[in-house]
Each structure stands twice: as C-alpha cells, then as structure tokens.
Amino acid sequence: MRRQEVLRGAVTALSGAGVASPEHDAAELLAFVHGTTRARLFELDDVSDQARGRYDALVARRAAREPLQHLTGTAAFRHVELSVGPGVFVPRPETELLAGWAIEAARLSQHENRSCRVVDLCTGSGAIAKAVAHEVPEADVHAVELDPSAFAWAERNLEGTGVDLRQGDMATAFEELAGTVDVVVCNPPYIPLEAWESVALEARDHDPHLALFSGQDGLDAMRLLEQRASLLLRPGGVVGAEHADAQGESAPGVFRARPHWREVVDHLDLAGRPRYLTARLAT
C-alpha cells in the first residue's frame, strides 16, 4: 500500500481518538517501523504487508493513548536521547527550557569560579542531568530519584556520563554537599490532586503518579525544594524549577516568602505560558 494512504488512515484513527498531534505521531510510528526518521519518510514509496501489520498495531496502541515514546522506547531531549517506558515520566519539550537555563547557569558559574557543581533533584529519566553533563562536560553533576522504577531508567540513561546518581528522597539528598552547590535544578511533581480529571490520559494513565501530583495545591514538592535548595546552594548559587502554567504566581511565591532568596523570576515557555522559576540564594 502507498505510504500516503497508510498515513492518512493512521491520522484519521489518531484524530478520532483525541490524540493531540496525529500527523506527527503517525509519521513517527511509520518511521520507527521502517528504522528511519520522519524527515526521510519521503524516500519510502510503499509499505509492505508485514510492516503494515506492525504499524497498525502501534497505531492502535497510540489511539488507546499509550504515549508515543513508550511505543518507540526513546525520547529526544535537547542534544541527547533517552530510553523511556512504563514506570518513568516521559520528558516534555517544555522542560528543555529549564535544562537550557541550568546549562547556561553552569557555564556562567564555571567561568566565574572555575568550578561548577550541579544537583538535579527529582531526576526521573535523568533527562536534565544527562543534558547538563553532555553540554557542560566539566561540570560535577549529581542527581537523585525516589521512585525505584524511574531510578532504573535513570541508571540506564546516565550510565557512562559521570553523573553521580542516587536513589533517595530529594528532601534529604546530598547532605554532604551542603553549601557547595552552584546550581540546583528540579522538575518536581506539581499537579494539584483536585486536577485529576484534567490531566491528559497519556500522563494520568501511564506516567508514575509520584512524578505528577503534589498535594492539594500542587506545591508540596516546591516547598520541599525551597528548603533543600537553601541548604545545598553556596551563597549566590541559583535554583530553577518547573511548575504548572497556572502557578506563575504561587510557585515563585514559595521562594519570595522566604527572606534568603533574591532575584526570584518567573519565565515563560515558547507558547507564552508561565513555565519555570529561578532564584538566587542571598550572599
């Protein structure tokens, strides 16, 4: 069957199932089946019966709202590739902005102090830690993850990177690094429990709930982060954390309420929505 005809059928099925990006996902799955990239699909004229069978099965799973990255087993994040699957939060494109901030903050610290220590709390798949280690190879990077299943994925992704990965709670992690860290970065859980029904099925049914929900107002983990970052950072060190787009005031407010933080700033994502905060520990 011709490639375009196969794709049209898949797009129709995914659209009808409420998938947010049916054209993109249909093309990605067809490229995956053929061991190529979406950009090179134009080289494919026909889809064999065997490939069509594999493809239809994957499209059906995606239509059932199984995450695309679970089907392909990988997720791109900045300049690195991550292995992902059941049991770990799939990194989102918007988190690349927070990772980019951490990378630039690490480079600046390295330039000013000739050293750079970065701690990634709630590392999940290891996405931010791996990106920092890849783009700032001289940095001393540490990461922690509480969930055993997510930790196993982080181990796989961070193998050979030099990142000091540990399993544990961010509220007590890296006690021996207190007062020596230049950059703390975190993509914590931030969805209020009351928002259960509004969460996309891909996340609600497939991402670990430990990585999603954080108390009645969604800020329980942010409060823990504020406390831990104030302990870990050196004077003048910086922290960055992602939050929900509805938390553009409340999440930075956690830091503004404490007298030891300076330069508390909220940042927008590419769609103009509040996405992450940054703050500097007073000197």
Cβ atoms of residues 258 and 279 within 8 Å? no
Q: What is the pLDDT of residues 186-245, one digit of tens each?
A: 999 876 666 555 556 665 555 565 555 556 777 888 999 999 999 999 999 999 999 988
Q: Any idea where the domains of the chain sit in the sequence?
A: 3-64, 88-281
Q: What is the pLDDT of residue 262?
A: 97
What are the DSSP E strand ranges found in the chain? 74-77, 80-83, 117-121, 140-145, 164-167, 181-186, 233-242, 261-268, 274-281
Going by pLDDT thresholds of 50, 70 and 90, the confidence category of residue 87 is: confident
Going by pLDDT thresholds of 50, 70 and 90, the confidence category of residue 42 is: confident
- What counts of helices (H) and strands (E) characterise the chain? 10, 9
The dihedrals phi and psi of 69, each to the nearest 5 degrees, come to -70, -25
| Token pair listed for 109 | 């610290």
Q: Does 265 score more than 90 pLDDT?
A: yes
Q: What is the pLDDT of residue 192?
A: 64
What's the mean pLDDT in 47-69?
92
DSSP state of 92: P
Q: What is the pLDDT of residue 163?
A: 98
Report whether 91 belongs to an annotated binding site: no
The DSSP-derived string for 226-274 is: HHHHHHHEEEEEEEEEE--GGGTTHHHHHHHTSTTEEEEEEEE-TTS-E
What's the mean pLDDT in 2-21?
94
Q: Does 181 score more than 70 pLDDT?
A: yes
Going by pLDDT thresholds of 50, 70 and 90, the confidence category of residue 84 is: very high
Report whether 274 belongs to an annotated binding site: no
Cβ atoms of residues 215 and 132 within 8 Å? no
221 half-sphere exposure, CB direction, 13 A CA radius: 24
Per DSSP bridges, beta strands 80-83 and 74-77 are antiparallel
More confident residue, 20 or 157: 157
Q: What is the pLDDT of residue 200?
A: 62
What stretch of H or E contains 11?
Answer: helix 3-16
More confident residue, 107 or 198: 107
Share of the chain above pLDDT 70, in %: 91
pTM of the model: 0.86
Q: What is the pLDDT of residue 203?
A: 58
Q: What is the pLDDT of residue 63?
A: 94
Report whether 188 belongs to an annotated binding site: yes
Per DSSP bridges, beta strands 233-242 and 274-281 are antiparallel
**Exposure class string for 224-235: b at 16+ Cβ within 10 A, else e:** bbbebbbebbbe
Q: What is the pLDDT of residue 218?
A: 79
Q: What is the pLDDT of residue 115?
A: 81
Going by pLDDT thresholds of 50, 70 and 90, the confidence category of residue 1 is: confident
Q: What is the pLDDT of residues 109-145, one digit of tens each?
A: 988 877 899 999 999 999 999 999 999 999 999 999 9
Residue whose pair of structure tokens reads 């990988």 in the numeric block? 74
CATH architecture type of domain 88-281? 3-Layer(aba) Sandwich (3.40)
